[in-house]
Chains A and B, each alone.
Chain A
Amino acid sequence: MTTPAPSSPASPLEQARPNGVVRALTDGWVVAKRNLIKIKRVPEVLVFVLISPIMFVLLFAFVFGGAIDPGGEVAYREFLIAGIFAQTVVFGATFTGAGLAEDMQKGIIDRFRSLPMSPAAVLVGRTTSDVVYNVLSLIIMALTGLAVGWRIREGVVDAILGFGLLLLFAYAVSWVMAWVGLMVPSVEVINNASFIVIMPLTFVSNAFVPLESFSGFLRTLVEWNPVSALTQASRELFGNIDPSIPAPDAWPQQNAEIYTLIWVAIILLVFVPLSVRQYRLSAGKA
């Protein structure tokens, strides 16, 4: 070991460190890899993450399948799957919050904080590795969907765009839950906290029932709910909407893709800085 004079830079290896965004991304990737190794070592966690989407697809398809008629030529099961996609990836964000809340209680976070790494790295790493969970759950859901009668009726490119949009929106929401995860005192709280936010968000939407079945104030809420736009956009991109039925007469529904992207941008602009700030704050607490 070397002992340089106090004023000299400590280790030559850290002198040329890039700053800001580049460092947040490179350090974030190192943390993401750490999270992914955990999936490999504790695959049991995956089982539950992947079983619940299957359960949702089957439950809704067979329980509500006959009771709800989305209208037109398209069967409910086909109408439903995009809604389940949207609901599941939004719910998946809870995982981000829980993962972070857990991290914050572990000794490893002291190691991270005492390192000259980007303060955003732990958050970038967590949200990035959770994309993998969402990719896996989308694959599982798509396969289950195909088995119960869901079809991709537009082109492959549109379908890929559809999955991309779902992942992007999920990524944004996971930053919201990251922020929540940093503020709650324990992992148990996060599950309940996210439930009260995400349940209404996904149920007061067109994910499970057609928008036409809502009326009055509730209908306006549903029309402007970003989850409705995400669902509408996915249905359009997968071709799960009867082309003879026009999109509902509301701007977010007419321009579902753009409206979803606007929400993604807003959420990221607000919650990335907010979460990083919260991470720094909790660093000064305990």
Chain B
Amino acid sequence: MGLFHRKAFVEEPAAVENRFFHMENINKFYPMGEEQAHILKDINLDIREGEYLSVLGPSGSGKSTLMNIIGCLDVATSGRYVLHGREIEDLTETELARIRSREVGFIFQNSQLLARLTARKNVELPLIYAGVSPRERSRRAEEMLVRVGLSDRMDHHPNQLSGGQQQRVAIARALVGNPTLLLADEPTGALDQKTGRQVMALFQELNAEGHTIIMITHDMNIAAFAHRVVHIIDGELTEGGGTNDA
């Protein structure tokens, strides 16, 4: 286990347009009655490929809004966001959806599986929207379910799976499209401590395999699993320095 002390801004030779993940002076306002609520304030963030970052902040700090912008569910009011060499601004909803499909694998707090579908079908879901053929879909879904250790649960429905297994299915679903980054929102929020640790162990394995992970959490203990922690408080982002592997 190595130490990963990194600075927030690592000067890279590549031009901004070609960077892996670059946020520059991101601001987000939401209309709140007569006034505009300033949710995100001049956020600057660079992430390198293969990093494992956690965004730590209390509720109401703007971390969900930041997650939405990172995940291309929302766009900033001002500022510049480059993901995988692509400017994310002034895009239509359809273009944003295509970027989500290719670049982002979402993992939610409550795993968010469709109850009517088997684990396999749930994992296949993103590939359906990406237009992958049924055979290829099935093959890749199986591969991912094997990867997260659910080879014997592929045809189970979510209600036949434990909370930890459901979250593993969700992780497999996030991985199946081979996204640029995994974006996890309180991935252990609904799990007990033991299961939560197992999921964190899986995250570390995935990171070791080269997956870039951004984890949003309010739990310092969970955030500590990442190699780099940034704090967000009242819409302002501060570098929290690296932490050790737990």
Q: Do A and B come from one complex?
A: no
- State the A residues within 8 Å of B (CB): none
- State the B residues within 8 Å of A (CB): none
